[in-house]
Structure 1
Amino acid sequence: MVPLAGLVDSAFLGHLVEIRHLAGVALATALFNYLYRPCNFLRMGTTGPTAQAEASGDSAAVILILLRNGLIAIALGTLILLLQSPLRQLGFTLLRADPSVMAAGQTYYSARIWDAPATLLNFVLIGWLLGRERSGQVLLLSALSNGANILLDYWLIVRWGWESFGAGVATAASQYLMLLVGLILIVSETPLAQWRSARHLFDWTALSATFRLNANIWVRSLVFISVYAFFTSLSASLGTVPLATNALLLQVMILAIYFIDGLAFATESLTGSLQGAGTLTQLKPLLKLSSGIGLALGLGFAILFALAPEPLFGLLTNHGEIIEQVERYVFWLLPILGFGSLAFVLDGYFLGLTAGEILRNSMILAAIVGFGPLAIASWQLGTNQLLWSAMAAFMTVRVAALASQVPKTLVAEAIPQPDQSPTPAAAEPTPDPQA
């Protein structure tokens, strides 16, 4: 649902008379990715611990994980709102483009930035529901949010002519709708007695474990988004047409990745549940099944768009020069989504084990060794083909680094959990989100 709404955004903007609105929103989206996607540690750092606590029967820890990460989300969302002006100035200074494209991007930013608290809280709610294996409720929230986004896109962009500003308003409003419904679902089904565990909210041992896990995932996410931000910035340096071309290809990548992420979320939830229940022998068959399905999904998307680029990308834009350029680069989706699918499944596996250090280190290695050298060469030579090869190398190194750590986790005696702290020993132990 999330990438489909993004594709509809691109389709509405791509069919406007001026292509600058599509390019401007792509530029601003890179900035929002830089702001929000690193904060996805709020979801990633919630699902695994929640699944482990749920499987072990610790209902107090389940509630405390929600409350602790929710407080972090509110604090970060408020901080982003307070710093919105300097963040806009810094972001659009780094992400250079034509003045008309910059203006469209800043208009989108000014409308969407107000959804910061809702977006970050939604990360926590989704992570918590996934950890409890409530995927039906996640689907409901996603359908409501993204369905509303599509309807508002049509009304504000097509009917009212608000262009990039309308796209920003639609996204922000849909996030608040998702938050409202999510809170109603959680409060209505959680017994009042379980909320009494909130008195342990500021247990410093548990908080330090939460912050340690979240810090590692935050670094991992920051590096990941930095790669995409540099990719977009280098695309903009090549001109408006290459930027718009790469934006459409990235939308297809995101569509495929979200499908694969659904599989990764399930892997994360089930891995955490197996870890919490102590049934470690099921980890290997789970990982083999998830990896096989993920690879089929990734390659399936890549092959579909590589075989029929003109009719499929024609749904997103009616600018012939953009579609012609897309046909030159669409084959890069094969290695990117092939290796990327395995990397995202492995992300879910290690998140379920709360192995934040492994995720952090593998992402840093992939950015430095895989993406960096070819991206620099692309910038020096002004070649879009090299830029796409840098993205392919990034995914390849990433999956290799993660896969090299898998054998260590399949030792039956113990699963390495570098981000967990021991449960405090006491007559009435304080609930620990990592227990």
Structure 2
Amino acid sequence: MNNSFKKRFWQLAAINVVSNLMVPLASLIDTAFLGHLMEIRHLGGVAIATVLFNYIYWTFGFLRMGTTGITAQAVGREDREGIILTLLRNSAIAIAISIVILILQQPLRELGFNLLSADPEVIESGRDYYNALIYGAPATLLNYVLLGWFLGREQGKQVLLLSIVDKSTNIALNYWFIVELGWASRGAATATAISQYLNCLLGFILILREFPLSYLVTFTQKIYEPDALKATFNLNRDILIRTLALVSTFALFTNLSAVMGTITLTANTLILQVVTLGAYFIDGIAFATESIAGNIKGQKNSQLLLPLVKLAIASSIIIGLIMAGVFAFFSQSLFSILTNHTEIIQHLNNYVFWLFPILGFGAIAYILDGYFLGLSAGNILRTSTIIATLFVFLPFACFAWYFQSSHLLWLALSLFMLARAITLGLKVSQTLSIYH
């Protein structure tokens, strides 16, 4: 791997890392606002409602993941029309899905909260959060497409700008709604929805500065080409199944935490915030891997794939373990920023060391996720996650529930990450001879 290639990788990775860090840092600040309220039920309510939104929104994460790889491949082929059509086609899909979500918002809410387990006051707070955030669905899904499109074109500066505007607005509105107005969980949701719409507006302004609306309109008739739509839906189907399995794993983890009590739920939620922080950090490298892998496939230059994977995995493992070490050894002072409830901090100190295997194994899985997404190898991602969820996480999660053991629950999540890393890693060699 030559120096210019490494420079390109690190420039893109650095911008993506900074951009990605805006997401969990904003979430951590929001958690701190809620965690310092007199009633801890609001933090638990947001955690429970977030499980439901993970299904509603992360289920359609293919709008981001499917966009990046296809766009990057079109860039590698120097296919200008393909770049535009990917944006328009996936934006149309995002709008259609968001309309369905808004129409079905009430049955989705009732079904979701009936399946979740928590104290009644926690559920009530979660419903307030849901009722406000659901109206941000159109902007949220369109933002997935915009992010994927800019990433696929390796336009890191645009991604960073969008992230800064979105999260700084979110933090400011959260302070106003939660601290000043006392809206609690409803305020957190309202702030997020408003910031999503502002972010979406800015994204389309950036696009129109490069491509006039009259130019984009000329491609609209080609959005619904049968072969292109079929390929898009096949890829999105595989990513959808993969995402459902992934979200179900974390949903079951949170739900079983709630069954073990509000203190366990809250403590595990705070530790998961650190996992999220580490994941977004590592995803900055994974996004760079995704963009460059797709570009390499478009150029049919497969000799760069293996060096790319090695560089990305080595750097991500280092980052993951450093993150785990910082929070494990300074847990008292760092988690006290998120909550002033001493019983929660004392409880989570018993489990914080689980960050090492989760972020260590998870780092490998996240990078390989990005690698195969860049190659549009959705079938590999689908199979890997199904195996890890059904045959690894689920059995150990059942043991955790039976013995009411939070340690077993964290073990289940650690083994889930390991299983994903192994099953994806075994498939890398196949791609080195296919994409040339």
Question: TM class by shorter-chain length?
Answer: over 0.9
* Counterpart pick for 2:419 among 392, 397, 404: 397
1:78: which partner in 2?
99
Q: Distance in 2 between matches of 1:197 and 1:278?
A: 26
* Corresponding residue of 2:207: 186
**1:239 equivalent among 261, 264, 272:** 261
1:219 partner amino acid: I
Q: For residues 94-122 of structure 1, what are the alpha-carbon distances to aligned partners after superposition, in whole Å with 9 as ceiling and x for unaligned?
A: 11210110111000111111001110000
2:221 corresponding residue in structure 1: 199
- 1:420 — aligned with what? none
Query: Are the aligned partners of 1:130 and 1:269 in contact in 2 as well (CA < 8 Å)?
Result: yes
Provide the rounded CA distance (Å) in 2 between the counterparts of 1:340 and 1:384: 19
For 1:2-39, what per-residue CA distance to the aligned partner results, in whole angstroms no more than 9, with x for missing partners?
A: 11111011100000011100011110011101110111
Aligned equivalents of 1:92, 1:200: Cα separation in 2: 41
1:279, distance to aligned residue in structure 2 (A): 1.4
Native 8 Å contact 2:364 2:421 kept in 1: yes
**Which among 80, 84, 99 is matched to residue 120 of structure 2?**
99
Q: CA deviation at 1:194?
A: 5.4
Instruction: Provide the residue aligned with 1:177 in structure 2.
Output: 198
- Aligned position for 1:424: none
Q: Which residue of 1 aligns with 2:406?
A: 384
How many Å separate the matches in 1 of 2:294 and 2:407? 40
CA distance in 1 between partners of 2:339 and 2:224 (Å)? 51
Compute the displacement of 1:195 (Å): 4.5
Whether 1:370 and 2:392 are equivalent positions in the alignment is: yes
Q: Does 1:40 align with 2:57?
A: no
**Alignment match, 1:281:** 303
Measure the CA separation in 2 of the matches of 1:348 and 1:163.
36
Q: Distance in 2 between matches of 1:115 and 1:329?
A: 35
1:64-96 deviations in whole A, cap 9, x for unaligned?
A: 111111111001111111111111111111112
Q: Secondary structure at the match of 2:203?
A: helix
Q: Matches of 1:59 and 1:362 in 2, distance apart?
A: 33
Q: CA deviation at 1:197?
A: 2.6
Letter matched to residue 30 of structure 2: D
**TM-score between both structures, scaled by the size of structure 1:** 0.94
The answer for the alignment partner of 1:415 in structure 2 is 435
Matched position secondary structure for 1:18:
coil
Alignment equivalent of 2:318, drawn from 296, 320, 324: 296
Percent of matched pairs sharing the same residue: 53
Counterparts of residues 17-416 of structure 1 (less than 5 Å): 17-191=38-212, 192-193=214-215, 195-411=217-433, 414-415=434-435
Taking the aligned partners of 1:241 and 1:194, their CA distance within structure 2 comes to 52
User: Does structure 1 conserve the Cα–Cα contact (< 8 Å) formed by 2:30 and 2:171?
Assistant: yes
CA contact (8 A) 1:43 1:123 kept: yes
Can you give the 5+ residue segments of structure 1 that lack an aligned partner in the other structure? Answer: 417-435
CA–CA separation in structure 2 for the residues paired with 1:74 and 1:193: 21
1:229-280 deviations in Å (ceiling 9; x for gaps): 1111101100100000011011111011001111111000000011111111
CA apart distance, 1:381: 1.1
Query: Partner letter of residue 172 of structure 1?
Result: A
Kept in 1, the 8 Å contact 2:162–2:202? The answer is yes
Instruction: Compute the displacement of 1:196 (Å).
Output: 1.9
In 2 relative to 1, CA 195–165 (structure 1 residues): closer, same or farther, beyond 3 Å? same
Q: Secondary structure at the match of 1:23?
A: helix
Q: Distance in 1 between matches of 2:134 and 2:215?
A: 37
CA deviation map 1:205-227 (0-9, x unaligned) = 11100000011001100110000
Which residue of 2 is the match for residue 433 of structure 1? none
More helix by share: 2
Aligned residues: 414
Secondary structure of 2:204's match? Answer: helix
AA partner of residue 280 (structure 2)? Y
Deviations 1:169-205 (CA, angstroms, capped at 9, x unpaired) = 0111110010000010011111544542322111101
CA contact (8 A) 1:34 1:225 kept: yes
CA RMSD of aligned residues (A): 1.0
Query: Which ranges of structure 2 fall in alignment gaps of 5 or more residues?
Result: 1-21
Which digits, 9 at most, give the CA deviation of each residue in 1:367-398, with x for residues without a partner? 01220111000111111111110000100001
The AA in structure 1 aligned to 2:262 is T
CA contact (8 A) 1:63 1:195 kept: no
Q: Is the 8 A contact 1:59 1:194 kept in 2?
A: no
CA distance in 2 between partners of 1:194 and 1:27 (Å): 41
Q: Deviations over 1:299-325 (max 9, x none)?
A: 110011011100000000000000001
